[in-house]
Structure 1
Amino acid sequence: MRCPCGCGDTIELMVLDGARPRWDITVDHSGRPSLHPSVWRNIGCRSHFWVRRGRIQWCK
């Protein structure tokens, strides 16, 4: 996915069992994805956010 901050970086998130770190993805009845845990970039723009029901929720 592209970083939602607008920096243009590509973010790769592992969703495979046994991968470390690993994210869980769920899709609701309307097709909106959610990720758990939050995405916290420790390089580049250093964005920290949740994807919940297809929307970005920025951590403060």
Structure 2
Amino acid sequence: MKCPCGCGRTIELLVIQEAKPRWDIEVDADGLPSLIPSVWLTSGCKSHFWLKRGRVIWV
């Protein structure tokens, strides 16, 4: 996914069981995705956000 801050960075999140760190993705009945836990970039733009029901919630 592209970073929602607009910096243009591509964010790759691991969702397979064996990965560490790993994110869980849930899609609700309306097709809106949520990610658990939050996404926190430690370099570049240093964005920190949640994705809940298809919306970015900034920390």
With normalisation by structure 1, the TM-score equals 0.97
For residue 33 of structure 1, what is the amino acid of its counterpart? Answer: P
Q: What is the CA distance between 1:29 and its match in structure 2? A: 0.2
- Runs of 4 or more above 6 Å deviation: none
SS in structure 2 at match of 1:57:
strand
Residue 54 of structure 2 corresponds to residue 54 of structure 1: yes
**Identity of paired residues, percent?**
64
1:23 maps onto 2:27 in alignment = no
State the Cα distance separating 1:56 from its structure 2 match: 0.2
Structure 1 position 23, deviation (Å): 0.1
Q: RMSD value over aligned CA atoms?
A: 0.3
Residues of 1 paired with 2:40 and 2:54: CA distance? Answer: 17
- Give the length in aligned residue pairs: 59
- How far 1:18 sits from its partner (Å)? 1.1
1:22 corresponds to which letter in structure 2? R
User: How big is the shift at 1:5?
Assistant: 0.2
